[in-house]
Amino acid sequence: MRSTAIAPSQVAGAPWGRLPAPGRRQKIARVVIMASQGDGAAAWIEQNMDVGKVTGTKFAGGSSWSSAYIYSTSSGRQLFVKTAMGRDPEAMFRGEAEGLKAMHATHTIRVPEVFHYGALPSPPGGGALRGSGSFIVMEYLNLRGRCDQTELGRQLARMHLAEPQHEHAAQFGFFCDNTIGGTPQPNPWTDDWVEFFREHRLRHQLRLAGNSRLNQLAEPLLKPGALETFFQGITVRPSVLHGDLWSGNIAAVEGQPAIFDPATYFGHHEAEWGMSWCAGFGGAFWAAYHELVPREQGFEARADLYELYHKLNHFNLFGSGYLGDCERLLSRLVKKLK
Q: Residue 131: pLDDT above 60? A: no
Instruction: With cut-offs at 50, 70 and 90, classify the pLDDT of residue 242.
Output: very high
Instruction: With cut-offs at 50, 70 and 90, classify the pLDDT of residue 124.
Output: low
Q: Which residue is catalytic, options 244, 261, 304, 325?
A: 244
Instruction: With cut-offs at 50, 70 and 90, classify the pLDDT of residue 265.
Output: very high
Q: Which of 273, 302, 261, 338 is nearest to 13 (CA)?
A: 261
244 has catalytic annotation: yes
Q: For 8-139, CATH number?
A: 3.30.200.20
Q: Residue 6: pLDDT above 60? A: no
Q: Residue 33: pLDDT above 70? A: no
Alpha-carbon dihedral sign for residues 295, 299, 300, 303? negative
Instruction: With cut-offs at 50, 70 and 90, classify the pLDDT of residue 202.
Output: very high
Q: Residue 20: pLDDT above 80? A: no
Pairwise CA distance, residues 307 & 148, whole Å: 24
Pick the range with the lowest mean pLDDT from 15-24, 90-99, 277-286. 15-24
Domain range summary for the chain, segments of one domain joined by +: 8-139, 149-337
Give the count of alpha carbons within 13 A of 48, CB side only.
Answer: 11
Say which CATH topology domain 149-337 has: Aminoglycoside 3'-phosphotransferase; Chain: A, domain 2 (3.90.1200)
From residue 154, give the alpha-carbon distance in Å to each of 7, 51, 150, 334.
Answer: 22, 34, 6, 33
Q: Residue 149: pLDDT above 70? A: yes
Pick the range with the lowest mean pLDDT from 101-110, 116-125, 134-143, 317-326. 116-125
Pairwise CA distance, residues 234 & 246, whole Å: 26
Q: What is the pLDDT of residue 285?
A: 98
Q: Which of 263, 274, 280, 336 is nearest to 307 (CA)?
A: 274
What pTM was estimated for this model as a whole?
0.86
Q: What is the pLDDT of residue 9?
A: 38
